C-alpha cells in the first residue's frame, strides 16, 4: 500500500514529555512508557493514533484508567483511541524480544549487547507511539539491567542518576534536554569500553567526548575521536554551529544495516565507520570514517535541531548533511588540489550509482511523491543528488549567501519539523532571490542533459555558447519543465590560459576565470564579447550541476583541456571523455569481431583501433607531471568503470565491455610501462604510516601503477607486488598488492589468500575485505562465490559480511555476475529470498542489483526477468523487497 506526500495531515495529538523504563533482557524486554499528550490546535481529529509493530501489549492506561478492549482499536500496526480528551497521559507497557530481532530495526542484540535503530520507523517496535518525525518531545529514560552482563547503560542526553538494584542489577537514568522526534531515540546496554576526553568548545564550555567499542578495540578509536573533534571545530568555523550538549557519545556495533545513525548525543555506528588503525584499515577507510563521523555529528543541527516534517522531506536533512560532510572532508585536506580530488570522488559516486538510479525503475525525485516502504528511500538520490542540489544553492548564492540562508533557516526553524520548501525559502529570502524555478530540482526526477555548442565569430570577436536542456521521462513523469541550472564556464586561449569573460551588454571588464551562467530555459544562447581568439570552452566546471553534459570536442581539444584547463575537475573530465570514447569504440569492435565469428581475432581488431596512442600520450603527460597532486594523477589514470561504460550504451553487453576495458588497460600498461615503474618508485611513502591526504594520494598513485603493471604479467611487475605484499606496513598497500597478485597469472594465489586470512582471522572488518577481494577478482565466477558462501566465516546474518561477498559480487563484478548461463541471477534470487526472511532492509538493497535489467541484451534480459519473477512470487515477501521487484518488473 502506497503512502502519498499529498496526503500529509498534521498529527491530532502532540507530545510534551515521554518517560520510559526498560527492563533489559535479551529474550523479553519490558518497556513502560508514559506519554503526556495534548490535542493539536492545528488538527481537526480527536483520535489518538499510535503505531506499534511486533509488540506484546501488556497494559494501556489513559489518564490513570486502564483501557478495556472496547476503548481502543488495534488494526494491523495502528492503535487508535477514539475521541480522547484534550489532555491525555498515556501509560503503555509492552514486551519485545531483542534476541529474535534480526531486522536490526528497533531494539536488538548484537554480540550479546543491546542496541537500537529507530530511523525511520523503528521506535514503533519498542512501544506504541505517534512515531512520526513531526511529533517532537522531551525524553527521560530509565535503563535497568544485570550489572555484570551490561555494565554500561547509555541513552540520549545527560546521565542524571545511576545506582545499584537488588539481584545484581543496576540502573541509569538519562535525560535529553532537547525535544526530538522518536526516530532519534537510542539506547545502548552492554559490556563496552570507551576512549574519552574532555574537550573545550570555542565558547569555553567543556564537554565530554566518548567513543565506545568492545573490549580489545581501544587501539582502533583514535581516528574516530580525532575526526569528532575536527567536526566540532569545523561546524563552528564554517557555520557558527556549536555542540549543544554536555556529552557526545559514539558507539560502534558490528551488526548494523547502514553506515551510522545520528541519535541525539548518542550516535550509533557500524564498526566499519569507527574502527581504524594502520594494520586493519585502508586510506579509504580512514577517509570514510572522518566523513561519516562528520556526517552524523553535523546532523545534530541539520536533522536534529531542525528535523523533517515527514519522510518525503528526508533529503532536507540528508542532502544538506552530505553536502556539509563533503565540505568538511574537503576543508580537512585543505589544499585546492585536495578539494578538487574530493570533488571528483564525490562526482564519481554520483555517476556510478545515482545516475543509473535516476534512469531506472526506482527513479524518484529528491523529494519523493510516494513510497511503499520508507527504508527503500535512503537512496543515492536522496543523499548524493540531494547534496548536489544543496551545493547548487552555494554555487548560485556564493559561500556568503549560502551562509546567510543557513543562518535564516536556523533562526526561523530551530526546534521545528519542516520541509524542503522551508529550506529553499530561507535561501531565497536571505538573499532576496527568486528561487521558484529551483523547486523543480526537488519535484522532477531524472538526470537532465545539457547540450552545449559554441560558435566563434572572429570578426565580431564573439563567442556564442548555446545551452539546451532536456530531461528523459521517468516513472510517473513523462514531461519535464526546464530546470534552473548553474553552468560554470571558462574559455581557454591557444596557450591554455583563461580568457576574460564578458557577456554582451555588460559594462566593465570581467574577471578572468570562471563564471556561472544560469540556464533556466529549454534553450539559451550566451554571447561573450571581446573574445580575441577562437577559444576552447571549458563547461560545467567543478561539476556545477548534476547533469549530463554533451559537447562535441575533438580528441585534440580533449587532450588540450586535459593538459591545460585551470579547473581541475574539467581537466580530469577531459581525460575521462577521451577514455570513454576509446572504451565505447573498443566495445563495439569486440561485439563486431564476436559476431563475425572471429573470436581469436578480437585482439588484432582491438590493436588496430588503439593504434593512434593519443590517449596513452595524454595519460603519460599527466602521469609524469610532477606539478600535479598524486591523488589527482591517480584519478586521471583510472578508467571509467564497467558500470559507467554500461550506462553509456543503448544495449548493455557486460562481456564485451569487460573485454574492451581489460584490453585498454593492458595496452596502456604496455605503452606506459617505464613511466608506471618510475611512478611506482617515486611515490613510495617511507616511514611510519599516516592516513593524511598527501600520503594517501601517493600510495594511491603508486598502487594504480602497480595494478596496471600487473596486467603485463612480467617478472618485474609481479615481484613488485610480491615484495609489497611482504613489506607493507599498512592495510592499503597490503590489499593493493594482494589484488594485483590475484588478478595476475602469478602462482601461489591461494597460499597468499590463506596467509592473509590466518593473519587477520580475528578482525571482522579485514575478513570482510578478504571476501570482497575474492568476489571481485577477475577470475571469480558464481561458483567461487557459492563456495565462499559456505566458508565457516561467512554468514548472511551480519550485514557487513553479506555485503562483503554477495553485494560485492552482484554489483562489483559485472562480467561474472551477468554470466550467459544466468547462474549469477539464480544465485541473486536465492540470496534475496534468504535475506528477505531475516533482514528485509538488506534484502531490498540486494534486490536492486537487477534494476537496470531492461537495458541488457535480450538473452540476459529474459533471464533477469525470470529471476525477478521468482523473487516477486516467493512467499512472505517483505514490503521492502516487494516494492523493489514490483517496480522493476513494471517499469
Nearest CA to 294 among 335, 337, 348, 237? 237
Q: Find which of ligand ARG, Zn ion, none residue 235 binds, CB within 5 to 8 Å per kind.
A: none
Q: Does 378 bind ligand ARG (CB under 6 A)?
A: yes
Stretch that binds ligand ARG, among 124-132, 252-260, 276-284, 571-579 (CB under 6 A): 252-260
**In sequence order, which residues have a C-beta less than 8 Å from that of residue 123 and are 6 or more positions away?**
106, 129, 131, 182, 183, 185
Decide: is 708 part of the binding site for ligand ARG (CB under 6 A). no
What residues pair up with 856 in beta bridges, in sequence order? 652
How far apart are the C-alpha atoms of 254 and 267, rounded to whole Å?
14
Is 318 a binder of ligand ARG (CB under 6 A)?
Answer: yes
Query: Catalytic: which of 25, 214, 262, 296?
Result: 296
Residue 876: how many other CB atoms lie within 10 Å = 8
For ligand ARG, give the closer residue by CB, 257 or 591: 257
Distance in angstroms (rounded) separating the CA atoms of residues 780 and 773:
10
**What's the CA gap between 355 and 343, in Å, rounded?**
16
What are the phi and psi torsion angles at 860 (to 5°)? -70, -40
Tell me the torsion sign for CA atoms 846, 847, 851, 855: positive
- Strand-pair partners of 466: 453, 525
- Smallest separation, CB 573 to ligand ARG (Å): 29
Shortest gap between Cβ of 738 and ligand ARG (angstroms)?
31
* Alpha carbons 813 and 371: distance in angstroms, whole number: 30
Binder among 20, 145, 228, 261 for ligand ARG (CB under 6 A)? 261
Which of 25, 91, 119, 647 is close enough to bind ligand ARG by CB under 6 A?
Answer: 119
Query: Is residue 425 at the binding interface for ligand ARG, with CB under 6 A as the rule?
Result: no
In the three-class reduction of DSSP (H, G, I as helix; E, B as strand; rest coil), residue 243 is classed as: coil
Is 296 an annotated catalytic residue? yes
394 binds ligand ARG (CB under 6 A): no
Smallest gap from Cβ 465 to ligand ARG, in A, equals 38
Could you give the residue ranges of the DSSP H alpha helices within 652-761? 654-671, 673-682, 693-710, 715-727, 731-742, 749-760
Choice between 322 and 636, CB closer to Zn ion: 322
Closer of 11 and 294 to Zn ion (Cβ): 294
Task: Yes or no: say if 491 and 444 are a contact pair by the CB < 8 Å rule.
Answer: no
Residue 815 beta carbon to Zn ion: minimum distance, rounded to whole angstroms = 33
Site for ligand ARG in 293-312 (CB under 6 A): 295-296
Q: Which stretch binds ligand ARG (CB under 6 A): 95-103, 254-262, 520-528, 702-710?
A: 254-262
- Local structure of residue 184 (DSSP, 8 states): G
Which lies closer to ligand ARG via its Cβ, residue 323 or residue 569? Answer: 323
Size of the site for ligand ARG (CB under 6 A): 13
Q: Grid coordinates representing 465? A: 555558447
Only one of the segments 251-259, 633-641, 795-803, 870-878 lies at the binding site for ligand ARG (rule: CB under 6 A); that segment is 251-259
Distance CA 318, CA 842 (A): 20
Those residues whose C-beta lies under 8 Å from the C-beta of residue 168, and which sit 6 or more positions away, are 146, 147, 148
Does 326 help bind ligand ARG (rule: CB under 6 A)? no
Cβ contact 371:377 at 8 Å: yes
Nine-digit cell string for 744:
595476475
Q: Which of helix, strand or coil describes residue 250?
A: strand
Which residue's C-beta sits nearest to ligand ARG? 378
Identify which range of 256-264, 748-756, 759-767, 818-826 contacts ligand ARG by CB under 6 A: 256-264
Looking at the Cβ atoms of 32 and 372, the one nearer to ligand ARG is 372
| Closest residue by Cα to residue 118 from 321, 317, 266 | 266
Q: Which is nearer to Zn ion, 324 or 658 (CB)?
A: 324
Task: Kindly tell me which of 290 and 318 has the beta carbon lying closer to ligand ARG.
Answer: 318
Q: What residues line the site for Zn ion (CB under 5 A)?
A: 318, 321
The piece of 255-263, 359-367, 396-404, 558-566 that touches ligand ARG (CB under 6 A) is: 255-263
Provide the 10 A C-beta neighbour count for residue 666.
Answer: 16
Please name the residue that has the C-alpha cell 563533503: 326
Q: Return phi, psi of residue 598, to 5°.
A: -85, 55
Residue 258 Cβ vs Zn ion, minimum distance, rounded to whole Å:
9
Q: What is the DSSP letter of 509?
A: P
Give min distance, CB of 137 to ligand ARG, in A: 19
- C-alpha cell recorded at residue 330: 574537503
Q: Which is nearer to ligand ARG, 261 or 696 (CB)?
A: 261
- The answer to whether residue 107 forms part of the interface with ligand ARG (CB under 6 A) is no
| Residue selected from 55, 79, 120, 249 as contacting ligand ARG according to rule CB under 6 A | 120
Task: State which residue, 318 or 851, has the beta carbon closest to Zn ion.
Answer: 318
Q: Pick the stretch among 258-266, 630-638, 721-729, 742-750 that binds ligand ARG (CB under 6 A).
A: 258-266
Task: Pick one of Zn ion, ligand ARG, none as the site partner of residue 119 (Cβ within 5 to 8 A by kind).
Answer: ligand ARG
Q: Which does residue 261 touch among ligand ARG, Zn ion, none (CB within 5 to 8 A, set by kind)?
A: ligand ARG
Q: Which is nearer to Zn ion, 217 or 321 (CB)?
A: 321
Nearer residue to Zn ion within complex by CB, 374 or 796:
374
Q: Which backbone phi and psi does 301 adopt, to 5 degrees?
A: -95, -50
**Residues in Cβ contact with 365 at an 8 Å cutoff, skipping those fewer than 6 apart:** 381, 442, 443, 444, 445
Q: How far is the CB of 128 from ligand ARG (least distance, A)?
A: 20
Looking from the CA of 205 toward its CB, the CA atoms found within 13 Å total 12
What is the length of the chain? Answer: 891
Q: Three-class SS of residue 808?
A: helix
- The answer to whether 375 contacts ligand ARG (rule: CB under 6 A) is yes
Contacting range for ligand ARG; rule: CB under 6 A; set: 253-261, 341-349, 682-690, 699-707: 253-261
Task: State yes or no: residue 262 binds ligand ARG (CB under 6 A).
Answer: yes
Q: Does 20 bind ligand ARG (CB under 6 A)?
A: no
Q: For residue 859, what is the enclosing H or E element?
A: helix 858-872
**Least separation, in Å, of the C-beta of 325 and Zn ion?**
8
Greatest Cα pair distance, the chain, in angstroms, is 94
Contact flag: residue 153 with ligand ARG (CB under 6 A): no
Binding segment toward ligand ARG, per CB under 6 A, in 149-157, 260-268, 399-407, 831-839: 260-268
- State the Cα–Cα distance between residues 544 and 486, nearest whole angstrom: 6
Rounded Cα distance between 725 and 728, Å, is: 6
**Site for ligand ARG, rule CB under 6 A:** 119-120, 257-262, 295-296, 318, 375, 378
The residues carrying an active-site annotation are 296
Amino acid at each position: 500500500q502506497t503512502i502519498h506526500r499529498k496526503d500529509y495531515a498534521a498529527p491530532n495529538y502532540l507530545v510534551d514529555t515521554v518517560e520510559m523504563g526498560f527492563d533489559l533482557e535479551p529474550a523479553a524486554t519490558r518497556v513502560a512508557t508514559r506519554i503526556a499528550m495534548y490535542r493539536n490546535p492545528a488538527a481537526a481529529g480527536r483520535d489518538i493514533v499510535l503505531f506499534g509493530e511486533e509488540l506484546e501489549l501488556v497494559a494501556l492506561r489513559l489518564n490513570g484508567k486502564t483501557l478495556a478492549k472496547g476503548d481502543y482499536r488495534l488494526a494491523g500496526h495502528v492503535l487508535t483511541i477514539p475521541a480522547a480528551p484534550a489532555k491525555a497521559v498515556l501509560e503503555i507497557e509492552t514486551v519485545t524480544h531483542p534476541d529474535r530481532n534480526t531486522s536490526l530495526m528497533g531494539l536488538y542484540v548484537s554480540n550479546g549487547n543491546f542496541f537500537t535503530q529507530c530511523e525511520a520507523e523503528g521506535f514503533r517496535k519498542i512501544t506504541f507511539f505517534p512515531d512520526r518525525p513531526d511529533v517532537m518531545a522531551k525524553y527521560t529514560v530509565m535503563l535497568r539491567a544485570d550489572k555484570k552482563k551490561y555494565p554500561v547503560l547509555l541513552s540520549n542526553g545527560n546521565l542524571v542518576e545511576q545506582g545499584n538494584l537488588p539481584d545484581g542489577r543496576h540502573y541509569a537514568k538519562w535525560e535529553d534536554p532537547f525535544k526530538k522526534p522518536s526516530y532519534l531515540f537510542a539506547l545502548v546496554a552492554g559490556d563496552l569500553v570507551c576512549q574519552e576526553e574532555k574537550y573545550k568548545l570555542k565558547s569555553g564550555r567543556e564537554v565530554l567526548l566518548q567513543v565506545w567499542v568492545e573490549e580489545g578495540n581501544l587501539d582502533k578509536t583514535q581516528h574516530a575521536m580525532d575526526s569528532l573533534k575536527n567536526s566540532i571545530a569545523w561546524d563552528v568555523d564554517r557555520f557558527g554551529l556549536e555542540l549543544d550538549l554536555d556529552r557526545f557519545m559514539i558507539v560502534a556495533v558490528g551488526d548494523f544495516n547502514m553506515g551510522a545513525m545520528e541519535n541525539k548525543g548518542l550516535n550509533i555506528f557500524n564498526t566499519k565507520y569507527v574502527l581504524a588503525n594502520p594494520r586493519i584499515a585502508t586510506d579509504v577507510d580512514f577517509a570514510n570514517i572522518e566523513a561519516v563521523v562528520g556526517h552524523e555529528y553535523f546532523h545534530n543541527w541539520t536533522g536534529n535541531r531542525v528535523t523533517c516534517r515527514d519522510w518525503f522531506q528526508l533529503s532536507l536533512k540528508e542532502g544538506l548533511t552530505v553536502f556539509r560532510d563533503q565540505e568538511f572532508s574537503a576543508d580537512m585536506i585543505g589544499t585546492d588540489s585536495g578539494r578538487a580530488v574530493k570533488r571528483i570522488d564525490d562526482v564519481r559516486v554520483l555517476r556510478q550509482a545515482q545516475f543509473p538510479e535516476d534512469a531506472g525503475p526506482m527513479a524518484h525525485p529528491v523529494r519523493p511523491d510516494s513510497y511503499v516502504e520508507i527504508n527503500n528511500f535512503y537512496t543515492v538520490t536522496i543523499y548524493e543528488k540531494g547534496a548536489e542540489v544543496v551545493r547548487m544553492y552555494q554555487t548560485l548564492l556564493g559561500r556568503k549567501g549560502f551562509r546567510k540562508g543557513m543562518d535564516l533557516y536556523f533562526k526561523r526553524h530551530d526546534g521545528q519539523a519542516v520541509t524542503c520548501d522551508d529550506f529553499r525559502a530561507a535561501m531565497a529570502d536571505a538573499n532576496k532571490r527568486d528561487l521558484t524555478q529551483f523547486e523543480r530540482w526537488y519535484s522532477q526526477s531524472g538526470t537532465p542533459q545539457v547540450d552545449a555548442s559554441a560558435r566563434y565569430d572572429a570578426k565580431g570577436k564573439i563567442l556564442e555558447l548555446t545551452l539546451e536542456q532536456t530531461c528523459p521521462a521517468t516513472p510517473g513523469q513523462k514531461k519535464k519543465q526546464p530546470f534552473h541550472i548553474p553552468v560554470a564556464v571558462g574559455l581557454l586561449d591557444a596557450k591554455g590560459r583563461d580568457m576574460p569573460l564578458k557577456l554582451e551588454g555588460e559594462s566593465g571588464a570581467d574577471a578572468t576565470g570562471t563564471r556561472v551562467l544560469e540556464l533556466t530555459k529549454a534553450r539559451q544562447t550566451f554571447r561573450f564579447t571581446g573574445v580575441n581568439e577562437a577559444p576552447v570552452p571549458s563547461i560545467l566546471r567543478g561539476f556545477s550541476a548534476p547533469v549530463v553534459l554533451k559537447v562535441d570536442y575533438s580528441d585534440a581539444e580533449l587532450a588540450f583541456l586535459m593538459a591545460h584547463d585551470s579547473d581541475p575537475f574539467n581537466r580530469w573530465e577531459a581525460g575521462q571523455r577521451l577514455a570513454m570514447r576509446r572504451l565505447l569504440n573498443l566495445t563495439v569492435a569486440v561485439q563486431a569481431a564476436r559476431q563475425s565469428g572471429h573470436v581469436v581475432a578480437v585482439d588484432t581488431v582491438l590493436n588496430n583501433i588503439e593504434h593512434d596512442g593519443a590517449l596513452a600520450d595524454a595519460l603519460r603527460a599527466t602521469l609524469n607531471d610532477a606539478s600535479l597532486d598524486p591523488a589527482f594523477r591517480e584519478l586521471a589514470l583510472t578508467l571509467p568503470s564497467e558500470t559507467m561504460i554500461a550506462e553509456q550504451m543503448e544495449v548493455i553487453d557486460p562481456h564485451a565491455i569487460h573485454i574492451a576495458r581489460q584490453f585498454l588497460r593492458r595496452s596502456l600498461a604496455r605503452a606506459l610501462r617505464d613511466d608506471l615503474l618510475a611512478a611506482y618508485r617515486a611515490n613510495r611513502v617511507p616511514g611510519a604510516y599516516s592516513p593524511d591526504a598527501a600520503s594517501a594520494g601517493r600510495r594511491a598513485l603508486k598502487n594504480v601503477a602497480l595494478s596496471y603493471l600487473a596486467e603485463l604479467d612480467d617478472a618485474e611487475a609481479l615481484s613488485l607486488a610480491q615484495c609489497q605484499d611482504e613489506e607493507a606496513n599498512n592495510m592499503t598497500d597490503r590489499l593493493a598488492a594482494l589484488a594485483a597478485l590475484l588478478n595476475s597469472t602469478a602462482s601461489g594465489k591461494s597460499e597468499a589468500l590463506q596467509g592473509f586470512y590466518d593473519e587477520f582471522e580475528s578482525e571482522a572488518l579485514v575478513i570482510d575485505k578478504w571476501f570482497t577481494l575474492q568476489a571481485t577478482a577477475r577470475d571469480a565466477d558464481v561458483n567461487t562465490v557459492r563456495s565462499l558462501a559456505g566458508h565457516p566465516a561467512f554468514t548472511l546474518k551480519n550485514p557487513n559480511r553479506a555485503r562483503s561477498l554477495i553485494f560485492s559480487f552482484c554489483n562489483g563484478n559485472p562480467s561474472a555476475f551477468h554470466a550467459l548461463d544466468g547462474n549469477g541471477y539464480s544465485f541473486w534470487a536465492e540470496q534475496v529470498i534468504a535475506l528477505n526472511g531475516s533482514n528485509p532492509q538488506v534484502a531490498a538493497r540486494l534486490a536492486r542489483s537487477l534494476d537496470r535489467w531492461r537495458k541488457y541484451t535480450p538473452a540476459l534480459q529474459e533471464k533477469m526477468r525470470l529471476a525477478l519473477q521468482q523473487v516477486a512470487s516467493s512467499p512472505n515477501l517483505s514490503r521492502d523487497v516487494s516494492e523493489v521487484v514490483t517496480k522493476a518488473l513494471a517499469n
